[in-house]
Amino acid sequence: MSPPPQNGRFYARDHEAMAQALEVAGPVDSRVLFAETSTNPEWGVLTPAVPPAAFSNNHLGYAITWFGLAAALMVFYGLMLKRRLRPPPTQGSATSQDHD
């Protein structure tokens, strides 16, 4: 869902593409390393960044939303099925109040 890398900017963690852009020879590790200070200030490509204090975790909210939507759909489908399977009304059992 992220755009592809452009002009040396990466919008997702693509270790292989980053290694190619930095001309790294050898195997590439998939682990992520955050640097708070620059160990090589002469490399303008590397900018230190502190990791976020907490990564967002909205899984519970998403699960409640989707299970709630599924439950509402099941109730709606049950009501529609009940209406469809209901026997048709017979003409003799119809009550009318305007004959009194």
pLDDT by residue for the chain (100 residues), tens digit each?
778 888 888 888 788 888 888 888 888 888 877 777 777 778 777 777 777 777 677 899 999 999 999 999 999 999 999 999 988 888 765 555 555 5
Does 38 lie in the same domain as 20? yes
Does 48 lie in the same domain as 5? yes
For residues 10 and 18, the answer to whether their CB atoms sit within 8 Å is yes
Does 35 lie in the same domain as 13? yes
Pick from 57, 59, 38: which is nearest to 49 by CA?
38
In a domain, 65, yes or no: yes
In a domain, 80, yes or no: yes
Place of tokens 């709630």: 68
In a domain, 37, yes or no: yes
For residues 49 and 34, the answer to whether their CB atoms sit within 8 Å is yes
